[in-house]
């Protein structure tokens, strides 16, 4: 292909990129069945990922605010029973759920210890290790809930550019094969087909870019919440060991 033909192709694709919505719809409907199937698949990925992005943004924002409110309540309230009662109204807070798991295990241990002392029995109830395991199990459950559906965003971010590229390669190949059935061998004969094929790449990028940005943002926010749960767990274990499990 000569330099003049390359320049003509670039000019044609530049004009095609600035077409109106009607012309864009015409190019999509005029594409081959394989390219159309790729476009429909990419649209599905895009719509689904945007639904997940909106849902996860709301979920993580609510969890962060509820956790901040619970931590503030915990340090302002000296009575663990009162904190436990307040935590029941903060079901969206991962930190509150970690506290509830630790508090319930702590209450069970202190009651069992008191009963053993009243019966003058000597028994090993596990102590702070039991509370730690209960809190760690609750933290794992909360992380699983927060990370749910992130895999789909990661898949969208990594797969859709290649799906779009496949549609583009197929469309370009089909466009050049069509030259054998036409009387003209100029670039104008294949430019419309190439423009139609390039829509697949653009759609793939349109689906991938928001997904990768959202995935990275949500992953960072979940790591922050995980660190908050770990830090709170250490603080609660220190309090339990000093005041209840000696």
Q: What is the mean pLDDT of residues 208-223?
A: 96
Identify the DSSP state of 181.
G
In a domain, 123, yes or no: yes
48 neighbors 152 (Cβ within 8 angstroms)? yes
CA distance linking residue 55 with residue 41, whole number of Å: 21
In a domain, 229, yes or no: yes
pLDDT of residue 10: 35
Confidence band (pLDDT; 50, 70, 90) for 8?
very low
Nearest partner of 169 among 137, 201, 145, judged by Cα: 201
The alpha carbon dihedral of 136, 142, 145, 146 has a sign of: negative
Nearest partner of 197 among 7, 16, 1, judged by Cα: 16
The count of structural domains within the chain is: 1
Percent of the chain with pLDDT over 90: 49
pLDDT of residue 4: 47
If you write DSSP's letter for every residue of 69-113 in order, what string do you get?
HHHHHHHH---HHHHHHHHTT-TT-HHHHHHHHHHHHHHHHHHHH
In a domain, 10, yes or no: no
Look up the domain containing 65 and give its range: 33-243
In a domain, 184, yes or no: yes
Asked whether the predicted pLDDT for residue 232 surpasses 60, the reply is yes
Q: Which residue has the higher pLDDT, 176 or 1?
A: 176
Q: Which residue has the higher pLDDT, 171 or 29?
A: 171
**The residue count for the chain:** 246
Asked whether the predicted pLDDT for residue 205 surpasses 50, the reply is yes
Residue pLDDT, tens place only, 18-31: 445 555 566 666 66
pLDDT of residue 21: 55
102 neighbors 134 (Cβ within 8 angstroms)? yes
Residue pLDDT, tens place only, 38-59: 888 999 999 999 999 999 999 9
pTM for this entry: 0.78
Asked whether the predicted pLDDT for residue 185 surpasses 80, the reply is no
Q: Which residue has the higher pLDDT, 41 or 120?
A: 41
The C-alpha angle with vertex 181 and arms to 175 and 182, in degrees rounded to 5, equals 85
In a domain, 58, yes or no: yes
Q: What is the mean pLDDT of residues 156-181?
A: 82
In a domain, 82, yes or no: yes
236 neighbors 135 (Cβ within 8 angstroms)? yes
In a domain, 117, yes or no: yes
167 neighbors 35 (Cβ within 8 angstroms)? yes
Residue pLDDT, tens place only, 66-84: 999 999 999 998 788 899 9
The C-alpha angle with vertex 205 and arms to 202 and 206, in degrees rounded to 5, equals 85
Asked whether the predicted pLDDT for residue 237 surpasses 60, the reply is yes
In a domain, 74, yes or no: yes
Q: Which two tokens stand for residue 120?
A: 């003058």
CA distance linking residue 123 with residue 139, whole number of Å: 28
Confidence band (pLDDT; 50, 70, 90) for 149?
very high
Residue pLDDT, tens place only, 107-118: 888 887 777 666
Asked whether the predicted pLDDT for residue 208 surpasses 90, the reply is yes
Task: Please state at what angle helix 3-17 crosses helix 187-243, rounded to 10 degrees.
Answer: 60
């Amino acid at each position: 292909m000569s330099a003049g033909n390359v320049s003509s192709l670039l000019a044609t694709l530049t004009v095609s990129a600035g077409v109106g919505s009607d012309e864009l719809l015409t190019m999509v409907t005029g594409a081959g069945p394989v390219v159309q199937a790729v476009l429909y698949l990419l649209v599905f990925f895009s719509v689904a990922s945007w639904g997940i992005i909106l849902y996860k943004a709301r979920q993580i924002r609510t969890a962060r605010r509820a956790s901040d409110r619970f931590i503030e309540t915990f340090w302002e309230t000296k009575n663990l029973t009162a904190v436990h009662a307040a935590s029941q109204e903060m079901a969206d807070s991962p930190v509150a759920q970690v506290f509830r798991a630790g508090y319930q295990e702590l209450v069970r241990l202190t009651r069992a210890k008191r009963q053993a002392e009243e019966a003058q029995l000597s028994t090993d109830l596990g102590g702070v290790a039991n509370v730690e395991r209960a809190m760690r199990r609750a933290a794992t459950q909360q992380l699983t809930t927060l990370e749910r559906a992130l895999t789909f965003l990661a898949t969208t971010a990594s797969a859709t550019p290649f799906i779009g590229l496949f549609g583009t390669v197929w469309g370009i190949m089909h466009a050049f094969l069509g030259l054998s059935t036409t009387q003209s061998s100029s670039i104008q004969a294949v430019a419309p087909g190439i423009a139609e094929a390039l829509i697949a790449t653009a759609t793939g990028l349109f689906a991938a870019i928001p997904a990768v940005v959202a995935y990275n943002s949500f992953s960072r926010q979940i790591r922050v919440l995980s660190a908050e749960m770990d830090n709170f767990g250490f603080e609660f274990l220190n309090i339990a060991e000093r005041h209840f499990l000696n």
